[in-house]
Amino acid sequence: QVQLVESGGGLVKPGGSLRLSCAASGFTFSDYYMSWIRQAPGKGLEWVSYITRSSSYTNYADSVKGRFSISRDNAKNSLYLQMNSLRAEDTAVYYCARPMTTVVTTETDAFDIWGQGTMVTVSS
């Protein structure tokens, strides 16, 4: 079945680094752009980053720009998020998410597949 499974979360000290992974299965991963979305404890959802199908373009929320880096390996059906210079406010569950369609239109601009999330805690 169509599935996304995140891993790599954990406890890290402020200023530290962590690399998250998202393993995709059940669909042609290379056909979809992919996103990372996070949710701080007790808070709402926040888009973090996205990457196009061929990795030709990436974009980041202002809150993580210059510190986080998104990448993908289509041969391994995997999405990554390299997080550097971590701060307490980066503490959150991180989800990878797939859009509904391979070509996103105004009518299909939504995420129908989400992973279960991986928890990142930044604390000394």
Partner 1 sequence: SSELTQDPAVSVALGQTVRITCQGDSLRSHYASWYQQKPGQAPVLVIYGKNNRPSGIPDRFSGSSSGNTASLTITGAQAEDEADYYCNSRDSSANLIFGGGTKLTVL
Long-range contacts, 54-57 (Cβ 8 Å, 24+): 54/30
Footprint (CB under 8 A) of partner 1, residues 53-92: 59, 61
> Does 27 help bind partner 1 (rule: CB under 8 A)?
no
Q: Which residues contact 20 (CB under 8 A, 6 or more apart)?
A: 6, 7, 8, 9, 36, 80, 81, 83, 94, 118, 120
> Does 52 help bind partner 1 (rule: CB under 8 A)?
no
Whole-number minimum distance, CB 78 to partner 1, in Å?
18
> Does 2 help bind partner 1 (rule: CB under 8 A)?
no
> Does 109 help bind partner 1 (rule: CB under 8 A)?
yes
Q: Which residues pair with 69 in a beta bridge?
A: 82
- Which residues contact partner 1 (rule: CB under 8 A)? 35, 37, 44-47, 50, 59, 61, 95, 100, 106-112, 114-117
